[in-house]
Amino acid sequence: MLSYPTVRTSLIFLAIALVGLLFADIAITANNPWRDLGNFFLGVLTPNFFSSEGLLTALLRTVAFAFVGVTVGAICGFLLALVYRFLPVRIFCAFIRAIHELFWALIFLQFFGFHPLTGVLAIAIPYSGIFAKVYSEILEEADPEPGRLLPPGTGTIAAFLYTKIPDCWVQLRTYTAYRLECGLRSSAILGFVGLPTLGFYLETSFSQGMYSDAGAMLILFYVLIATIPLWVKPKLLPVYILGAPFFLGDGLPIVWGNVERFFTQDIVPSPLRDGEGLAGLMPWLNELMIEQALPGIWNTVILTQIALVATGILALLAFPLISNHFGGPIRRTSGHVFLVIARSTPEYILAYILLQLWGPSMLPAVVALALHNGGIIGHLIGRQTNTIRLRSDAPHGFNRYGWELVPRIYRAFLAFLFYRWEIIMRETAILGILGIYTLGFYVDSAIQSIRLDQAMVLILITAMLNIGVDILGRFIRRKLALQTMPTC
């Protein structure tokens, strides 16, 4: 078995995660975590849907930010996809998608303040990079035969519109709809930095111990995600897109002087700003790297690798919950509900909840990342097993799981897992805002102390780290000949 490259690669990543556990801060530090956990579940079972007058407004604004941000991102991403073959465009798209939406929000808050433009751009910019990459891959896989059948003299634009777009339309539409679900999650967590979406009210409820209020918000969010096929209809999309900007709210007016100061003073390294020149820049960078960047990178990598392996284990355990080859319809329905909840809950919200219940450590982050990403991969792999036809004398129980299904879906499972590696890294970095000592912790600390020059350097380091992991993940997928499958 060890002769298979996929098995050897899996064991290497497992060993790295086990070594990482020796250095990770894994603990439950709350005084009475089980009581707090019980109170939370009691709040979910007894939701208070009439607790806040602003709850419905927050829900509408969550949807509005998602629609506007995803629409702008899809349009810009499609235009970038047309020129994605050029290296500078690919580098630019890789950079903007490597920075998490919350980091973008923190940047725009510094000069736009609590204006709707902050939330829209925080979603639209990274999504433009994601859309550009995926759209370009879809367009590249289009059947070239229809283009050869066009009459001579057909213009490039006409050929593109009449050949590639019809061939790729279903894939483009499906992925864009899937990104809308991701956009709703991104929009919700923007509330944690002060924008008026669902996360703002969720954080307020938890900080005041109002678990029934928090339970109501989570249930509304799950219902919103689960019913997307019912209320997102093609005929209604123009109405949603045109109407969404009117539900973003007004916010505070933009002070354009702050924008100018941000680019000309705030993000300029302090030694250059104070006239110390390059002689003062190197000690400044050296201190920043030793005291903040390197500890942040170390903790980010450790947490990412542990969460990646935990995600893989959970996905392998979860896919039988919805597979037609195991159990009956009642069990599969329950499995679908569990996986919908797991993959619909943003990692940031789940980590925030667990931190309130268990106290600050890496454990809530590991569980949050594994549940969300494991739920996504488990759902995709479970659906894939439903297309597998077993022979009539196929074994049952664990033998069916271990010897029939897992070997058949393992390569696809690894493809999904390595695709989400970079996504897990992005989320790991941003979870530092909650108090975990990843790069996000040092970014947030620098912003809180108005050291925006340091914050921008740390955000750039985060982006480069994510790009590096993405490149490494694609290299491993190529070496193992794993098919790349885009997921949220």
Ranges of each domain in the chain: 1-30+278-487, 50-265
The predicted model gives 13-37 an average pLDDT of: 86
pLDDT digits (tens, 9 = 90+) for 399-458: 888 888 888 899 989 999 998 999 999 999 999 999 899 999 999 999 989 899 999 999
DSSP-derived 3-state class of residue 327? coil
The predicted model gives 140-144 an average pLDDT of: 70
- Token digits for 226? 């689960």
- Shared fold status for 1-30+278-487 and 50-265: yes
Q: Which of 72, 105, 392 is nearest to 251 (CA)?
A: 105
Integer Cα distance of 276 and 348 in angstroms = 40
Query: For 193-276, where are the alpha helices, taking DSSP H only?
Result: 198-207, 211-226, 228-231, 237-243, 256-261, 270-273
Residue-level pLDDT at 486: 46
The predicted model gives 97-120 an average pLDDT of: 91
Q: Which amino acid type is present at position 221?
A: F
pLDDT digits (tens, 9 = 90+) for 275-334: 887 888 999 999 999 999 999 999 999 999 999 999 999 999 999 998 888 877 888 888
Half-sphere exposure in the Cβ direction for 111 (13 Å, CA): 17
The predicted model gives 342-347 an average pLDDT of: 88
Residue-level pLDDT at 152: 61
pLDDT digits (tens, 9 = 90+) for 165-200: 777 788 888 888 889 989 999 999 999 888 889 888
Name the average pLDDT for the chain.
Answer: 87
Choose which CATH entry (1.10.8.50, 1.10.287.610, 1.10.3720.10, 1.10.10.10) describes domain 1-30+278-487.
1.10.3720.10
The predicted model gives 352-367 an average pLDDT of: 89
Residue-level pLDDT at 163: 65
SS3 labels along 344-362: HCCHHHHHHHHHHHHCCCH
pLDDT category of residue 150 using cuts at 50, 70 and 90: low
Residue-level pLDDT at 157: 61
Phi/psi of residue 26, nearest 5 degrees: -110, 110
Among the residue ranges 320-324, 337-341, 367-371, 479-483, the one predicted with the least confidence is: 479-483
Distance of CA 346 to the CA centre of its chain: 8
The predicted model gives 85-101 an average pLDDT of: 92
Integer Cα distance of 77 and 56 in angstroms = 31
Among the residue ranges 70-74, 164-168, 240-244, 370-374, the one predicted with the least confidence is: 164-168
Contacts of 467 (CB under 8 A, 6+ apart): 94, 95, 98
Integer Cα distance of 110 and 103 in angstroms = 11
Choose which CATH entry (1.10.3130.10, 3.40.50.300, 3.30.70.1450, 1.10.3720.10) describes domain 50-265.
1.10.3720.10
Q: Does the pLDDT at position 153 exceed 60? A: no
Residue-level pLDDT at 263: 86
Phi/psi of residue 393, nearest 5 degrees: -100, 25
Q: Which of 429, 443, 387 is nearest to 412 (CA)?
A: 387
The predicted model gives 25-51 an average pLDDT of: 80
The predicted model gives 201-206 an average pLDDT of: 84
The predicted model gives 244-249 an average pLDDT of: 90
Residue-level pLDDT at 488: 44
The predicted model gives 382-406 an average pLDDT of: 81
The percentage of the chain sitting over the pLDDT mark of 70, rounded to a whole number, equals: 92
Q: Does the pLDDT at position 35 exceed 70? A: yes
